[in-house]
Structure 1
Amino acid sequence: MKTSDLQLLARAEVRDLASYNAGLSSEAVRKRFGLTRIAKLGSNENPLGPAPAVAAAMAQACSEIALYPDASCQTLRAALSAKLGVPAEHLVFGNGSEDLLSIISRVFLDHDDQVVTVVPSFGLHFIYPLAAGAQVIGVPMTAAGEFDVPAMIAALTPRTRLLMFSSPSNPVGTTLGAEGLQQLLDALPAHCLMVFDEAYYEYAQFEAGYPDCLSLIQASGRPFILLRTFSKAYSLAGLRIGYGIVSDPLLADLIDRLRTPFNVNRVAQAAAVAALADEAHLHATLEHVAGERQRMAAALQAMDIHCVPSMANFLFFSTPFNAEAINQALLRQGVILKPWREAGYTDYLRVSVGSASDNDLFLEALANALATQQTRSA
């Protein structure tokens, strides 16, 4: 069979999909440019690393890796239930919250269904529903980078099955206030499930003014799935573990019907339990990010760079130049960011809040890149 014909073996929805932009690894950039110093600031990882107890928990779990993991994540389920005040049967677990997004799309979406989300967006909020055959309606955020709640409500139709978006927004970093969230909940059709992606919850809940979204959504009586992850503030990105809180155990049962039986490995479960127990380490992470984020935003403002206010561990900013041109200039200096590729946002980049030294390298490299672009365009 010719290579051109192999694509025809896939479903039409898959053939038309764009690939998810997972970003570059430090190894790839180091090898490509012959560099020794790399600041990896494209994937919103935690520069402080995991809690000290995580390594010991992982080592203990490794002694039993010949055995299948607990398919129900009972120890972690009990720990999360106690911490969140949520009944254990209202929790679901995934190989990262991305795994749960994929399962949710396959469980609840069919051809001709609609999903309402926002743009700019987390790419998988588009990719997974499109793969299921659904239509995705992207509602642009305002010019100030805020949620356009009236436009989101106007986009809801009798075909809308999921209202799915992240707050804090990925990639923008802004959050939906209590009033806006309540307006969305009040407008949610009976046939529509809210999927509230709160991957960056820990960073936001450290900030004044961030509402208790879980309590608001629970009080609404609407069907929902609220997603969180151990990849970001808890620094377990390499282990892939996320979880969801559902409004009704039936939703958990439906999700469990399509998840792989052992989708969260033994080591990840043990690490998550250990990470969850160390409040002091989490607090240190949140303090570091809040301080460095403020410093970085002020430095960008001093360069006359537009930066959207953020409650997450990243900043979304635009320059007068194409993002990919700036990105290439930064890569040559050993700085990995994520240039945005959605139409209307191709002059924006997202930078993670890293260590102080990595952040300094980014700011220096960006100043150099901007100066070079300005010289070329003069």
Structure 2
Amino acid sequence: MTPPKFSARAELDRLTRYNSGLTLDDVAARAKGHPIAKLGSNENPHPVSAAITTAMAEAIARPNIYPDPSARVLADEIARQTGAAAERVILGDGSEDLLNVLARAVLNPGDEVVTLFPSFPLHEDYATMMGATVTRIGLTPDRRIDMDALLAAAARPVRLTLIANPMNPAGLWLGPDELAALLAAQHPDSLLCLDEAYVEYAAGPDYASGAERLAGHDKPLLILRTFSKAYGLAGLRIGYGMSNSDDVIAAMNLVRTPFNTNAVAQAAALAAMTHTEDMARAVAATLAERARMEQALAALGLRVLPSKGNFLFVDCGQPSAGVADRLIDCGVIVKPWKQDGFETFLRVSVGLDWENDQFLEAMARIV
């Protein structure tokens, strides 16, 4: 029987399915007995603390009860640690869910969204889904954020300026002066959203989080964060947003699903925020390995962009899809970048030391 035809929304014709990366099972047959180094999804490879697994076990013992739809205990803890107002904290099924919620809450057909490029694809896809147009702010010829272009775009009455800081996949970031300039340039009729998924890896005097400016900023600002990266809860899907605008949070609450964070994820996230020793050790190990990997790749003659994330953006000097495919035979998963102008780049996550060694040894043979 021929499957029946059905026409979806016209905007979807401009989208491609999000590339979620390869799983361990996807590459097991080709790895030829190699241990598999999964370095394609920017996960935290270190184990979580016992406090988190205990909290998860206690929460899962009550599967018949709906979770708190506002995650009030967790929101209060987020507010306590960040300085945000608890009533302006919103939880989501990962921060990428909140990107979807944001698009549905604020974007109309024909609206303009400004974002950095190369980008996290969902920054563009959800805007396109809503019929908005996307303006890309690319990198300069020496592979830096084009601040002049970003400030000029943000100063216009665009509907939404949505940027990752640090950037995914490039790893680049706004310094304190650059963030201050962006906040000052922001048009008062525009919403500025800072996606800070990798903020825990970005500490240092040359980086500033938008959370530090939230309370004193006089224009609409939204900050998104996740428990998927440094906190190691990618499998549970939970993230959060913070705003200085009651209107932004109210709009997002209207369009999100009522129970968009499950009870186990809420319990794990609360335990993660209140037992941070293991997370801090994992971040420190990642930063040390990131520096080692950057030096080793540079020694191979490869250009590596500076990074404040738990990943590196590497110019292979040849199509990265082919490099990534050959790495699979060595038991290594990375993410070749396919956006226009960056087809020779791959993004590699910083894993455990043995995973990073396996990647570096394979790259030395391939390139």
| TM interval, short-chain normalised | over 0.9
Question: After the TM superposition, which residues 116-195 of structure 1 pair with which residues of structure 2 at under 5 Å, given as runs?
Answer: 116-156=114-154, 160-195=158-193
User: Per-residue CA shift, 1:59-91, capped at 9, x if unaligned?
Assistant: 000110111111010111121111112221010
Question: After the TM superposition, which residues 261-300 of structure 1 pair with which residues of structure 2 at under 5 Å, given as runs?
Answer: 261-300=258-297
Shift of 1:268: 0.1
- Aligned position for 2:46: 48
1:2–1:152 distance in 2 versus 1, CA, 3 Å: farther
The structure 2 residue matched to 1:29, chosen from 24, 27, 30, is 27
* Distance (whole Å) between structure 1 residues aligned to residue 335 and residue 111 of structure 2: 31
* Distance (whole Å) between structure 1 residues aligned to residue 291 and residue 335 of structure 2: 20
The structure 1 residue matched to 2:242, chosen from 228, 240, 245, is 245
User: Per-residue CA shift, 1:191-213, capped at 9, x if unaligned?
Assistant: 210010000011102x3421243
- Aligned position for 2:56: 58
User: Per-residue CA shift, 1:314-368, capped at 9, x if unaligned?
Assistant: 0001012100110111011110000000010000000000000000000011111
* Distance (whole Å) between structure 1 residues aligned to residue 356 and residue 95 of structure 2: 27
- Aligned position for 1:105: 103
* TM-score w.r.t. length of structure 2: 0.96
Q: Once the two structures are aligned, what percentage of the paired residues are identical?
A: 41
CA contact (8 A) 1:145 1:174 kept: no
Q: Is residue 214 from structure 1 mapped to residue 172 from structure 2 by the alignment?
A: no
Shift of 1:306: 0.3
User: Per-residue CA shift, 1:105-145, capped at 9, x if unaligned?
Assistant: 01100111000001100010010000010000111022333
Greater shift after overlay, 211-220 or 139-148?
211-220
Q: Is residue 366 from structure 1 mapped to residue 363 from structure 2 by the alignment?
A: yes
Q: Is residue 327 from structure 1 mapped to residue 324 from structure 2 by the alignment?
A: yes
* Distance (whole Å) between structure 1 residues aligned to residue 210 and residue 243 of structure 2: 13
* Distance (whole Å) between structure 2 residues aligned to residue 199 and residue 158 of structure 1: 26
* Distance (whole Å) between structure 2 residues aligned to residue 249 and residue 35 of structure 1: 54
- Aligned position for 1:255: 252
* Distance (whole Å) between structure 2 residues aligned to residue 308 and residue 156 of structure 1: 25
CA contact (8 A) 1:39 1:334 kept: yes
User: Per-residue CA shift, 1:190-246, capped at 9, x if unaligned?
Assistant: 2210010000011102x3421243223442311011000000000000000000001
* Distance (whole Å) between structure 2 residues aligned to residue 251 and residue 88 of structure 1: 14
Shift of 1:32: 4.5
- Aligned position for 1:78: 76
* Distance (whole Å) between structure 2 residues aligned to residue 322 and residue 302 of structure 1: 20
Q: Counterpart of 2:313 in structure 1: which amino acid?
A: F
- Aligned position for 1:68: 66
1:289–1:364 distance in 2 versus 1, CA, 3 Å: same
Shift of 1:99: 0.4
The structure 1 residue matched to 2:304, chosen from 303, 307, 321, is 307
The structure 2 residue matched to 1:354, chosen from 329, 337, 351, is 351
* Distance (whole Å) between structure 2 residues aligned to residue 298 and residue 157 of structure 1: 38
Q: Counterpart of 1:155 in structure 2: which amino acid?
A: A
* Distance (whole Å) between structure 2 residues aligned to residue 181 and residue 47 of structure 1: 30
Shift of 1:51: 2.1
* Distance (whole Å) between structure 2 residues aligned to residue 256 and residue 212 of structure 1: 24
* Distance (whole Å) between structure 1 residues aligned to residue 35 and residue 212 of structure 2: 44
- Aligned position for 2:37: 39
- Aligned position for 1:201: 199
1:83–1:338 distance in 2 versus 1, CA, 3 Å: same
1:177–1:2 distance in 2 versus 1, CA, 3 Å: farther
CA contact (8 A) 2:210 2:223 kept: no
CA contact (8 A) 1:94 1:241 kept: yes
* Distance (whole Å) between structure 2 residues aligned to residue 292 and residue 208 of structure 1: 20
- Aligned position for 1:344: 341
Shift of 1:289: 0.8
* TM-score w.r.t. length of structure 1: 0.93
SS in 2 for 1:357: helix
The structure 1 residue matched to 2:232, chosen from 228, 232, 235, is 235
CA contact (8 A) 1:30 1:38 kept: yes
Q: Return 5+ residue gaps in structure 2 as ranges.
A: none
RMSD: 1.6
* Distance (whole Å) between structure 1 residues aligned to residue 262 and residue 356 of structure 2: 33
Question: How many equivalent pairs are there?
Answer: 367
